[in-house]
């Protein structure tokens, strides 16, 4: 069956798919993957929103050439509606700057909790995919946003340090948060064989010692078109659609588009409920 045929499934038929893009090691390409996957998914007709949950050095806005003035924090404080915080990005995607993490979201009083949940409720109907760009590592905030998402897409590179750090991340998400399934994408690979070998090295050890399942989603080759696009503050899939990186990103998006959420309770409302600590799964 062609992927396009499956993409046309009426979006109202299922809750939005929430995918956290995360990594053990920093600088492996999460933000660029998130931005470009978002644009690629949108070009397939999906309604895509990105939550910028990298609270330290948020640079999704830089990669996308945006300068958001407001964030989710303003929604939590009742100062702005969610629709005023959403920023329009390239290719029809929308971005929610998080600015707040674990500390603030888990300490919301009942009234602020309800206000936030009521505001995000509208997203349930109006988007198909929510991608969450997280920071790297195993800090409380990374684990917090990743644990709340229906799926975790772990980004690795073929470097040994990226693999050991990814193992550490998978281990804590499995042992502390009970996540058993992980999606994996390999970035900056020399080619398909290099990427698959890196994936197998991680998967073999993780499956054996952590009893988790890792599912290979694809790879993005090392490509100078990507840093060039970052300098131009334009997603590479739009700036250089014919480049090897863009073609791989489009293929990766095609695979994610047809994948059902790893958790049945994958919607936006469930994601935010888990974030504010209500009914945490």
Is residue 66 within the footprint of ligand ATP (CB under 6 A)? no
DSSP state for residue 90 in the 8-state scheme: G
Size of the chain in residues: 281
Q: Is 59 helix (H, G, I), strand (E, B) or coil?
A: coil
Footprint of ligand ATP on 116-135 (CB under 6 A): 135
Interface mask (CB under 5 A) for Mg ion, residues 43-72, using x and -?
Answer: -----------x------------------
C-beta of residue 48 within 8 angstroms of C-beta of residue 94:
yes
Residue 17 near residue 7, CB atoms below 8 Å: no
With beta carbons less than 8 A apart as the criterion, state whether 240 and 246 touch: yes
Q: How far is the CB of 120 from ligand ATP (least distance, A)?
A: 24
Question: Please, which residue, 133 or 223, has the CB nearer to Mg ion?
Answer: 133
Region of 122-130, 203-211, 216-224, 256-264 interacting with ligand ATP (CB under 6 A): 216-224
| Phi, psi angle pair for 224, to nearest 5° | -60, -20
158: nearest Cα among 215, 220, 230: 220
Residues contacting ligand ATP: total by CB under 6 A = 21
Q: Which of 31, 36, 100, 146 contacts Mg ion by CB under 5 A?
A: 31
Distance between CA 201 and CA 163 in Å, rounded? 8
Q: Which stretch binds ligand ATP (CB under 6 A): 145-153, 158-166, 210-218, 226-234?
A: 226-234
267 binds ligand ATP (CB under 6 A): no
23 interacts with, out of Mg ion, ligand ATP, none, CB within 5 to 8 A per kind: ligand ATP
Reduced to 3 states (helix: H, G, I; strand: E, B; else coil), residue 208 is helix
Residue 12 DSSP label: G
> What is the distance between the alpha carbons of residues 101 and 40, in angstroms, rounded to a whole number?
27
Q: Is residue 23 at the binding interface for Mg ion, with CB under 5 A as the rule? A: no
Q: Residue 15 or 169: which CB sits closer to ligand ATP? A: 169
User: Minimum distance between the CB of residue 58 and ligand ATP, rounded to whole angstroms?
Assistant: 9
Cβ contacts of 114 within 8 Å, gap of 6 or more: none
Q: Interface with ligand ATP includes 97 (CB under 6 A)?
A: no
What would the two tokens of residue 24 be?
């053990």
Compute and round to an integer the Cα radius of gyration of the chain: 18
Q: Give 234 or 273: the residue with its C-beta nearer to ligand ATP.
A: 234
As measured in angstroms, the least distance from the Cβ of 23 to ligand ATP is 6
Give the residues lining the site for ligand ATP (CB under 6 A).
Answer: 23, 26-32, 54, 57, 135-136, 187-188, 220, 222-223, 226-227, 230, 245
Give the residues lining the site for Mg ion (CB under 5 A).
Answer: 30-31, 54
């Amino acid at each position: 069956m062609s992927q396009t045929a499956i993409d046309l499934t009426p979006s109202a038929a299922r809750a939005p798919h929430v995918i956290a893009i995360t990594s053990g090691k920093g600088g492996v390409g999460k933000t660029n993957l998130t931005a470009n996957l978002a644009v690629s998914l949108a070009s397939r007709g999906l309604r895509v929103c990105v939550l910028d949950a990298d609270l330290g050095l948020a640079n999704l806005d830089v990669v996308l050439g945006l300068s958001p003035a407001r964030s989710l924090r303003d929604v939590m404080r009742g100062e702005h509606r969610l629709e005023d915080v959403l920023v329009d990005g390239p290719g029809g995607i929308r971005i929610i700057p998080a600015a707040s993490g674990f500390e603030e979201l888990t300490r919301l009083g009942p009234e602020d909790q309800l206000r936030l949940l009521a505001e995000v409720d509208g997203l349930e109907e109006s988007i198909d995919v929510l991608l969450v760009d997280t920071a790297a590592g195993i800090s409380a905030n990374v684990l917090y946003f990743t644990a709340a998402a229906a799926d975790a897409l772990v980004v690795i590179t073929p470097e040994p340090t990226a693999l050991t750090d990814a193992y550490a991340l998978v281990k804590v998400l499995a042992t502390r948060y009970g996540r058993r399934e992980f999606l994996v994408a390999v970035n900056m690979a020399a080619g398909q064989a290099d990427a698959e070998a890196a994936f197998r090295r991680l998967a073999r050890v993780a499956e054996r010692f952590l009893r988790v399942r890792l599912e290979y989603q694809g790879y993005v080759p090392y490509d100078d078109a990507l840093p060039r696009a970052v300098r131009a503050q334009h997603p590479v899939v739009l700036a250089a659609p014919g480049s090897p990186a863009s073609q791989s990103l489009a293929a990766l998006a095609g695979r994610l588009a047809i994948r059902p959420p790893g958790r049945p309770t994958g919607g936006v409302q469930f994601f935010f409920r888990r974030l504010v600590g209500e009914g945490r799964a």
